Amino acid sequence: MNTTTINNSSTDPMPIERLGHYDPEVEQRVQQWLASGQLLAWIPILSQENFPGVPPQILQFADRHQEAMRWPIHCPEDLLTLPDGITGWLLPANAEDTDVACGVWSGEVYILGVQDKRTGRRQTLLGERTDVPTDVGNQSAV
């Protein structure tokens, strides 16, 4: 895996490690959101990949109620309280759509873009999501 570690200034709360296929535009946007102090929201991506034991019809039902599943992110450290191993959408709390996903694996926060595994097209929260296939391409660890 090709990685680059970024030595942040003393004001940045977490070190950043750029992974092989990170998207600098996504990284910059998330850093701006965090630096602005605005309230963010994290919404779990209800997919078979995230929840392998849950029947697809249950995931589809729950997906229609994703507004109720918004997890508030007040500061960067709140990202570490997300459930381990589950990818979710990250967006400003007052936004309706995003192409940024976020997840925590073994205590490390990953910010990533989401692509459909079958078509390679980028996905958004409100975009094409029939089975919500996800891929962890275009990622940065925070």
Q: What share of residues in the chain are helix, strand, coil (percent, to 5)? A: 20, 25, 50
The predicted pLDDT at position 55 comes to 93
Does residue 7 sit within a domain? no
Q: What is the pLDDT of residue 128?
A: 57
Question: What's residue 16's pLDDT?
Answer: 61
pLDDT in tens, 26-68: 888 999 999 999 999 999 998 888 899 999 999 999 988 888 8
Residue 31's H or E segment, with its range, is helix 24-36
Work out the pLDDT band at 4, boundaries 50, 70, 90.
very low
Which domain covers residue 82, as residue numbers?
14-141
Instruction: Report how many domains make up the chain.
Output: 1
Domain presence at residue 6: no
Does residue 8 form part of some domain?
A: no
Q: Which two tokens stand for residue 123?
A: 């996905």
Predicted confidence (pLDDT) at residue 5 exceeds the cutoff of 60: no
pLDDT at 129: 44
Mean pLDDT, rounded, for 12-38: 77
Closest by Cα among 72, 69, 92 to 81: 72
Whether 92 is in a domain gets the answer yes
pLDDT tens digits for 74-100? 999 999 999 999 999 999 999 999 999
Predicted pLDDT of residue 8: 44
For residue 50, give the amino acid letter. Answer: N
Looking up tokens 């997906």 gives 63
Per the confidence metrics, is the pTM higher than 0.85?
no
In angstroms, rounded to a whole number, what is the distance separating the alpha carbons of residues 13 and 1? 25
